Amino acid sequence: MTYAPPQHVASAGTTPADLRELLLVPAFLSRRDADELFRHCLADLDWRQERVRLFGREMDAPRLCACYGRPGLAYRYSGVTRRCAPWTAPLREAVERIGQRLGASFNFVLANRYRDGSDAVGWHADDERGIGPVIASVSLGSERLFRVRPREGGPSTALRLGHGDLVLMWGRCQRDFRHALPRTRAPVGTRVNLTLRRVGSPGFRARAGVT
């Protein structure tokens, strides 16, 4: 089934020039909801620094990660298999609400914790086999610069992501573009990113919410 953002979401967001099937929705979460979710993530998620394989070398990932979702789900990226922990109640509730608002179904969350400006993630696309085509990325905490560029290279588009902002990607976005969160020398605090996905299914499933 082909996905399109609901009208109430599409009208609240913007698609930057030269990008397709990507929507930036500022303040998608209310300040109160974003604050509560941020506090929960910092205090209660099981953060780990993973070892990843890049360019043939194994190294510490420059960020902390945590995975939550339906029992038994796993996600492999950069030589690491991430097996999800069971939902926390606040995280499951947040994912349920977000899925209902977006008209999408999510069963897995990859959380990344960027402790300061030296934590980052390089150019990549979330196009691994078994991931559904709709990906919702929620930003919490300090503002960071998010960049998107065509898969074949060329100039990138910069998006400033603040507390409670949402980036929604669907369709061919992961095939046509790559994205990154580069390092910065600017003094920045902690940022948490929650990436909502549907794992273990070849495509989009219409029932909204979380399973």
Report the percent of the chain where pLDDT is more than 90. Answer: 69
**58 CB-side CA count, 13 A:** 5
Q: Tell me: the pLDDT tens digits for 100-151?
A: 999 999 999 999 999 999 999 988 887 666 678 899 999 999 999 999 999 9
Mean pLDDT score of the chain: 89
Beta bridge partners of 169: 22, 135
How confident is the model over 50-61, as a mean pLDDT? 74
The gap between the terminal CA atoms of the chain, to the nearest Å, is 18
pLDDT tens-digit profile of 95-110? Answer: 999 999 999 999 999 9
Instruction: Give the CA angle between residues 23, 128, 131 to the nearest 5°.
Output: 60
Confidence of residue 1 (pLDDT cuts 50, 70, 90): low
CB-CB contact of 34 with 161 (8 Å): no
The single residue listed with the structure tokens 């074949």 is 152
Going from the N-terminus, what domains does the chain have, and what CATH number goes with each? 7-48+68-210 (2.60.120.590)
pLDDT-based confidence at 74, cuts 50/70/90? confident
Query: What value does the mean pLDDT take over residues 4-22?
Result: 96
pLDDT at 59 over 80: no
Q: Which two tokens stand for residue 157?
A: 């588009």
pLDDT for res 202: 42
Whether the predicted model's global pTM rises above the 0.75 cut: yes
